[in-house]
Amino acid sequence: GEDVEQSLFLSVREGDSSVINCTYTDSSSTYLYWYKQEPGAGLQLLTYIFSNMDMKQDQRLTVLLNKKDKHLSLRIADTQTGDSAIYFCAEFPTDKLIFGTGTRLQVFP
Amino acid sequence: GAVVSQHPSRVICKSGTSVKIECRSLDFQATTMFWYRQFPKQSLMLMATSNEGSKATYEQGVEKDKFLINHASLTLSTLTVTSAHPEDSSFYICSARGGLAGDEQFFGPGTRLTVL
């Protein structure tokens, strides 16, 4: 199957860490991605992780990959109001991206 | 990163009319372009993949005669929604990859279509 699932909503206080979770089904994906979508806009690639890695850190972003459980997470440190958006994980098993259901992150002061 | 534009950003049309949406790669040659549809509070659904100079490959359940895709050049793809109906109202997003941009897909800002 090609189901990629995420929790729908996450609310955090400014300055706290956010953790967005994703489960995927196709273990053949070479890369797994995180995209950000601001209101009324297209998608922006935030970061990605190669499937043979467990963790990748990129400034405030940390991606953790558990291949055994097919679980991917995105941690945003020191979350800011500008981080409020919808976050999509995506797998790339063949020649097309399969997007998750999206997690709406709301950051409050 | 590479830039992909879409035009128009927003369009309102009457039921039964056709609407054309353009997707352009501004600073790279896009050998492949993708068209997605996004319903409110939902994920992106891939509609079709087009390679320059060849016919688009449509995903299952997407009507090729209703959603006409043309990828005539390495920088331009168009999606025409023919005889649009209110249920076609949605957010349409294109993405492009290829050339010096490598394997990464770059997304356009999207087009909001409202059919009255």
* Structure confidence by residue, pLDDT tens digits, B12-55: 999 999 999 999 999 888 989 999 999 887 889 999 999 888 88
pLDDT attached to residue A100: 93
| Distance to chain A for B99, nearest Cα, Å | 16
Of A42, A97, A104, the CB nearest to B110: A42
Question: Given an 8 Å threshold on Cβ–Cβ distance, is B105 in contact with A40?
Answer: no
pLDDT attached to residue B23: 96
| Distance to chain A for B109, nearest Cα, Å | 4
Mean pLDDT by 10 residues, chain A (109 residues): 83 97 88 92 91 94 95 97 95 85 95
CA closest to B37 among chain A residues: A42
Please indicate whether residue A39 or residue B110 has the higher confidence score (pLDDT).
Answer: B110
The 3 state secondary structure assigned to A67-82 is CCCCEEEEEECCCCHH
- B104 vs A: CB within 8 A: yes
Of B44, B105, B110, the CB nearest to A41: B110
- A93 vs B: CB within 8 A: no
pLDDT attached to residue A1: 43
Q: Beta-carbon neighbour count of residue B66 at 10 Å?
A: 14
Going by DSSP bridges, is the β-strand pair A61-66/A55-58 parallel, antiparallel, or unpaired?
antiparallel
> Rounded CA gap, A8 and A44, in Å?
19
pLDDT attached to residue B100: 65
Contact B68, B20 (CB under 8 A): no
Question: Given an 8 Å threshold on Cβ–Cβ distance, is A97 in contact with B105?
Answer: yes
Residues of A in contact with B6 (CB under 8 A): 42
Which H/E stretch holds residue B9? none
> Which residues lie closer than 8 Å to B52 by C-beta, 6 or more apart?
B30, B31, B32, B71, B72, B73, B74
> Rounded CA gap, B38 and B112, in Å?
10
Confidence of residue B103 (pLDDT cuts 50, 70, 90): confident
Residues of B in contact with A40 (CB under 8 A): 110, 112
Helix/strand/coil percentages in chain A, nearest 5: 5, 55, 45
pLDDT attached to residue A29: 83
